Amino acid sequence: MAPGGSACKEVESYPAVADYAIATTKPESNSMTTKSSFGFVGKHGIQSNNGVYELLECPVCKNLMYPPIHQCPNGHTLCLNCKNRVHNCCPSCQYDLGNIRCLALERFAESLELPCKYHSLGCHEILPYYSKLKHEQHCRFRPYNCPYAGSDCSITGDIPTLIAHLKDDHKVDMHDGCTFNHRYVKLNPHEVENATWMLTVFKCFGKQFCLHFEAFQMGMAPVYMAFLRFMGDDSEAKKFSYCLEVGANGRKLTWQGIPRSIRDSHRKVRDSQDGLVIQRNLALYFSGGDRQELKLRVTGRIWKEA
């Protein structure tokens, strides 16, 4: 028995759910890291081997460890979250963990520099160990989430990957050009579903834009909304503007704005009402007839700011 330790019952392994207390972000998934491709680089340019990676990997959640790094009396290390999850019992030797910090490993990690985990997607940054997570949270090469809002789609990737995915898997209409003229028809306008009616992708100025049109409940009132999202980062989205117009019977409703990046979730953009919002009574008035069927024609244009 190790000094100061006592045996405890065997515990199960847990999934990767540890948080990094210093960076206040969730640690990266190691599935993006290729051990055979990268070693760790010291501040003096010394390339280390793959064994260093294993030293810094928590044996329970398999994520890289950040302070405080804990160890048992026998020297086995693990991250803080997993220490709590295994009920203070070492998953390697089953001894009580106590509150021993592995300061040597924490200091060693501080001397290392690592490549961004999005290196394969184009990022060539080499970062200090304790700055890596913060960089990756905002890295412009990180994958985008699928912009389709009609399902709980978990696909991520770069823009070309998402374009192919939208076309092949979601059967989204693809158009070239910077103007659009869409007619939306709904047989029962009193039936409001919290789902996308239509998503159309437009290609212009060498970029892609997602035009959303949908019905949802805003408080007690059903509304219809059209808005544009840019398939790229916010810094690029701000270089463009767009306008939308809907109307009939000598009246029209217009909207002009800047497309939101798909970095912002569909729900976030919709709930912010950052687009053309049409109340149901007005939408039915635009539809004409006996108000028993919704017929809206939405026109618009995208342009690049000088």
pLDDT band at 146 (very low <50, low <70, confident <90, very high): very high
- Domain assignment present for residue 19? The answer is no
Domain of 198, CATH number, reads 2.60.210.10
Is beta strand 69-71 parallel, antiparallel or unpaired with respect to 251-257?
Answer: unpaired
- Are 154 and 285 within one domain? yes
pLDDT category at 201 given cuts 50, 70, 90 is: very high
Predicted local distance difference test score (pLDDT) of residue 175:
94
Q: How many domains does the chain have?
A: 2
d(CA 1, CA 72): 12
pLDDT in tens, 68-100: 999 999 999 999 889 888 888 898 888 888 889
49-72 pLDDT, tens digit per residue, is 456 677 888 989 988 888 899 999
Identify the pLDDT of residue 193: 57
Q: What pLDDT does residue 226 have?
A: 93
129 and 160 inside one domain = no
- What is the pLDDT of the chain when averaged over all its residues? 79
pLDDT one-digit tens code per residue, 202-260? 999 999 999 998 888 777 777 889 999 999 999 999 999 999 999 888 889 999 999 99
My answer on whether 120 and 197 are in the same domain is no
Domain final position from 102, 122, 138: 138
CA 213, chain centre distance (Å): 22
Does 173 share its domain with 293? Answer: yes
Please give the DSSP secondary-structure letter assigned to residue 289: T
Contacts of 40 (CB under 8 A, 6+ apart): 47, 48, 52, 53, 112, 113, 114
- Omega cis (within 30) before 27: no
Predicted confidence (pLDDT) at residue 288 exceeds the cutoff of 90: no
Look at the pTM and tell me if it is higher than 0.85.
no
On whether residue 221 sits in a domain, the answer given is yes
- The better pLDDT of the pair 304, 286 is held by 304
Q: Do β-strands 69-71 and 126-128 pair in parallel, antiparallel, or remain unpaired?
A: unpaired
Distances (CA, A) of 165 to 15, 140, 301: 29, 21, 25
